[in-house]
Amino acid sequence: MNVRARRLGAACCAALLLALSSCVGTGDPLASREWLEASAGAVQVRSRSPGELEDALGWRLGGGYDLNTDPLRVSWEIDAQWATHDFDDGSGIESDISAWVIGTGLRLSADFDFLPLSVWGRGGVAWRDERPADALVDDLDGAGSYWGCGLEWRYSSVGSLGPAATWFRGEDDGPATRFVALNARFRL
């Protein structure tokens, strides 16, 4: 539990530093079509067989390109998400599993003219890669799909911050995960 508390504290500090570093920008918020994103939050594995994975602190780094500059924008995005989960299969085998989800897809964002807020939804295809620390633990690698949503508060002309949630579902009987995070986006 102490390790998780330290990881959560580090994630909160990193998100705060990322947010503060973009407060110096000026100009039109849609002047640049390129953007980067960083997220920190909780990764919950909702189904995985065999064995169960504990919830873990997760990190996400991504970027994208706006295909148009209207208040209702379509963007192409690519990202990578990482978390290390504690594993227990009930038979006494305990291990850590590092899980990566790498995906690409589209995002639809809607800006509110009267408030510095945006809502967005995203979806696409992804690959999940598991790396167990113990060779006795089966890894479940495979393709799947992701979808998500979020709310952004534009606190400067190049930076925004807000909550986000992303779900991943592997093909067939693959793992299903949920990533709930604080998301910071920066226009380049």
For 129-178, how does the pLDDT look when each residue is reduced to its tens digit (9 = 90+)? Answer: 887 777 666 677 889 999 999 999 999 989 999 999 999 998 877 788 99
Upstream peptide bond of 175 is cis (omega within 30 degrees of 0): no
CA 9 – CA 125 distance, rounded (Å): 31
130 near 141, Cβ under 8 Å?
yes
Q: What is the CATH number of domain 2-26+33-187?
A: 2.40.160.20
pLDDT < 70 positions in the chain = 1-31, 48-51, 89-91, 93, 135-138
182 near 15, Cβ under 8 Å?
yes
Tokens 């038979």, residue? 91
Residue 105 CB neighbours (<10 A): 19
Question: What's residue 72's pLDDT?
Answer: 95
Q: Which residues pair with 37 in a beta bridge?
A: 62, 185
Question: What's residue 33's pLDDT?
Answer: 92
Question: What's residue 174's pLDDT?
Answer: 76
CA 160 – CA 147 distance, rounded (Å): 20
pTM for the complete prediction?
0.79
Question: What's residue 24's pLDDT?
Answer: 40
Question: What's residue 142's pLDDT?
Answer: 87
